[in-house]
Amino acid sequence: MSLVAQMVDELAAAGAAPDVIAIAVRALAKAETADAERRRKRAEQKAKERAVARQSRDMSRDKVATVAATSLPKKETSPHTPLKEKTPSLNLFEANASNVDGPVDACDVIEKPKKNFEALKAFGEAWNQLAGALHLPAIDEIKTGSTRERQALARLREMPANGIQELIARIRGSPYLRGEVNSFRVSFDWIIKPSNYQKIMEGNYEDRKVTTLRR
């Protein structure tokens, strides 16, 4: 039995007048209609929310897949281990450029991605060889667009011919830069900062000036 029929029977049994019963029936029917409309709207809202959540999950999966396809997980390496050739990735030293035959110096740096890559690769490998010999922190990568890349390229453009070799020789010849004076240990990011690079190349850290630093 429907709710309307049940109410009619109860009102009739209570002796309610026909017009009263009619009014009650209309009010109940209106209430049921309104309730049904509210349920319908709630169902539509929930369906929309589920669709939005599903779309968001799909977009997140697509983003993760894209990042995974273009990123290289960080790999723990010994600070004294030379750079190794791996599969192409965002790692500068394995980016999509051909291997370098022989050293590349500052004179080879021009505004072309391949030349920039080769010069940065030579710079990074020269540093890692020095780091292995002097027990300094090696580098694992020079990411495209990073501060490290911008500063390294700027220093390469400032260097004269054989500038990398001269920089490495000056570091080797300085007890202070070799970490033999105090707890300071020179790093790749430190030497490519403009002021630090200039001081190294001007001889500020040569042995005769390190003696003054000790006093």
CA 7, 9, 13, 15 torsion: positive or negative? positive
> What are the extents of the domains in the chain?
3-70, 92-214
Residues 6+ apart with CB under 8 A from 118: 97, 100, 104, 108
CA-to-CA distance for 153 and 106, rounded, in angstroms? 9
CA distances from 154 to 25, 117, 158, 199, 211 (A): 86, 13, 6, 16, 31
DSSP 99-137: PPSS---GGG--SSHHHHHHHHHHHHHHHHHHHHHHT--
Which pTM value belongs to this model?
A: 0.47
From first to last of its 215 residues, the chain has per-residue pLDDT tens of: 666 677 778 778 888 788 887 887 788 778 888 888 888 998 999 888 888 888 877 777 766 555 555 544 554 444 544 554 443 333 545 543 333 334 444 444 445 667 888 899 999 999 999 999 999 999 999 998 999 999 999 999 999 888 999 999 999 999 999 888 888 889 999 999 999 999 999 999 987 644 444 43
CA-to-CA distance for 136 and 198, rounded, in angstroms? 20
